């Protein structure tokens, strides 16, 4: 969440930053007013408590001396005690309301994030094609117009009808070579991240729980703001994770870390669950949007100085996988108005889906500043003494449904079979083709 001290010191700056996301300045003014009222109530409480302490001593002295003023002083002490209790109740209520509002107030965009109100204002950083020829949408559409759900059905890779019978729509059922391909992609990506050091130490593989506590969801900003998009097991008060980012961030929740141990670089495969609230009838065919999907996630806890380098590394790793798969893709620098709730700066990777004729998001690589770590209580020691709130960074490398969709469409051959990219073949039993 936002640092209250920053709100006090620079309310206009915070309001201007959040206005880039479309947040009304009055929302920041309300936070500042609540903070001031809470501090005033706390000061009133402290002053009343100090008076009670002073008066108690005076009552004791008066009783000892037989001074008749003792009863009056005791009455004053009792009255001030009641006032202290009332002020304490006000301070607590105001603090709780302030925290409630802070939990649903988004992060401020980084100054380097482009201006803009929505997806149409995102900036294309670069586009990559397997041929090295500049991307031409018309040419790519002309060479392939078979959507992945038809390719998958032809070769028995997906059984969407039986998936719907088991769990409802948007729960894909993978079969045969399709299930093997999904498993192979996951193993391949995990191996890349956990054995290839890249620009720094390898990423530690973690297999976190899929169900987490409410506090774990709050730490990343998924609750309370996005409750309607989450799956909640009410009987146990546990939540199905929407991404491995959620449990990975909370591994260090409420901990004080040594700076020498940072960055903490974590890698995890998990199933992910999202209600996709508000998406009814939109991009629901095939693998374009799913309630349950598999994803490999990279997440780092770092110092402020390390964070941007880690964001660049995650982006490079995710893009590197797509290049190895031979899939045309582009990198987008998200504008302030399209940033996710907790993010300061995000780069999206979209893969070209020739059978659908659209760019599909397969990864978001985000730097959160200290926003998530402040919610999670993650701090680190600072050289020379003191502590600082950590920074968090995360990104998908990769989320598989749309990657598989693009792969089935882009690598479909004239005879209808699908070419398996060479780097993945060892992970699918040496298969070079599907179908």
Sorted by where each begins, the domain ranges of the chain are 4-103, 119-434
pLDDT, tens digit, for every residue of 260-271?
999 999 999 999
Q: Nearest-CA neighbor of 221 among 344, 314, 128?
A: 344
- Domain 119-434, architecture per CATH: 2-Layer Sandwich (3.30)
Give me the sign of the Cα torsion angle 393, 328, 117, 216.
negative
Number of helices (H), then strands (E), in the chain: 13, 16
CATH of domain 4-103: 1.10.287.40
pLDDT of 378 strictly over 70? yes
* pLDDT at residue 142, as a whole number: 55
Cα–Cα distance measured from residue 290 to residue 275, given in angstroms and rounded to the nearest whole number: 8
Residue with tokens 């309301």: 97
pLDDT of 277 strictly over 80? no
| Residue 327 burial (10 A CB sphere; 0-12, 13-18, 19+) | buried
pLDDT of 140 strictly over 80? no
pLDDT, tens digit, for every residue of 230-252?
999 999 999 999 999 999 999 99
User: What percent of the chain shows pLDDT beyond 70?
Assistant: 96
pLDDT band at 201 (very low <50, low <70, confident <90, very high): confident
**Cβ–Cβ under 8 Å, residues 378 and 337:** no
pLDDT, tens digit, for every residue of 208-228?
999 999 999 999 999 999 999
pLDDT of 418 strictly over 90? yes
pLDDT, tens digit, for every residue of 55-88?
999 999 999 999 999 999 999 999 999 999 999 9
- pTM higher than 0.85: yes
- For helices 11-19 and 25-65, give the axis angle rounded to 10 degrees: 150
pLDDT average, residue stretch 373-389: 96
Cα–Cα distance measured from residue 24 to residue 99, given in angstroms and rounded to the nearest whole number: 18
**CB-based contacts of 130: which residues, under 8 Å, 6+ apart?**
323, 326, 327, 328
pLDDT of 104 strictly over 70? yes
pLDDT average, residue stretch 307-328: 97
């Amino acid at each position: 969440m936002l640092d209250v001290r920053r709100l006090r010191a620079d309310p206009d700056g915070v309001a201007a930053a959040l206005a880039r996301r479309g947040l009304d300045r009055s929302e920041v003014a309300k936070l500042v007013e609540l903070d001031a009222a809470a501090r005033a109530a706390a000061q009133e409480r402290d002053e009343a408590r100090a008076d009670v302490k002073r008066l108690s001593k005076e009552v004791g002295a008066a009783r000892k001396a037989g001074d008749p003023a003792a009863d009056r002083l005791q009455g004053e002490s009792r009255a001030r005690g009641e006032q202290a209790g009332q002020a304490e109740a006000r301070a607590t209520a105001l603090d709780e309301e302030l925290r409630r509002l802070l939990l649903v107030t988004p992060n401020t965009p980084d100054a380097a994030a482009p201006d803009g109100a929505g997806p149409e204002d995102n900036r294309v950083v670069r586009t990559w094609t397997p041929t090295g020829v500049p991307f031409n949408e018309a040419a790519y559409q002309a060479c392939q117009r078979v959507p992945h759900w038809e390719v998958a059905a032809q070769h028995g890779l997906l059984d969407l009808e039986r998936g719907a019978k088991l769990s409802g729509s948007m729960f894909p059922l993978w079969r045969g070579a399709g299930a093997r391909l999904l498993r192979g992609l996951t193993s391949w990506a995990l191996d890349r991240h956990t054995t290839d050091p890249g620009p720094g130490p390898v990423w530690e593989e973690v297999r976190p729980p899929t169900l987490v506590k409410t506090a774990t969801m709050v730490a990343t900003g998924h609750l309370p703001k996005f409750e309607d998009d989450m799956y909640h097991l009410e009987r146990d008060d546990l939540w199905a994770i929407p991404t491995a980012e959620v449990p990975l961030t909370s591994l260090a929740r409420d901990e004080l870390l040594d700076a020498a141990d940072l960055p903490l670089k974590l890698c995890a495969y998990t199933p992910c669950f999202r209600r996709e609230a508000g998406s009814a009838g939109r991009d629901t065919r095939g693998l374009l949007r799913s309630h349950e999907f598999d994803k490999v996630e990279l997440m780092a806890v770092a110092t402020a100085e390390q964070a941007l380098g880690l964001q660049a590394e995650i982006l490079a790793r995710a893009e590197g996988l797509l290049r190895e798969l031979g899939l045309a893709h582009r990198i987008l620098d998200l504008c302030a108005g399209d940033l996710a709730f907790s993010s300061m700066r995000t780069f999206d990777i979209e893969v070209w889906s020739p059978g659908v004729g659209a760019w599909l998001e397969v990864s978001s690589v985000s730097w959160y500043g200290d926003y998530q770590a402040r919610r999670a209580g993650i701090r680190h020691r600072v050289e020379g003494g003191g502590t600082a709130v950590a920074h968090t960074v995360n990104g998908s490398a990769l989320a598989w449904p749309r990657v598989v969709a693009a792969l089935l469409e882009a690598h479909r051959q004239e005879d209808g079979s699908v070419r398996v990219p060479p780097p993945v073949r060892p992970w699918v039993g040496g298969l070079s083709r599907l179908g």
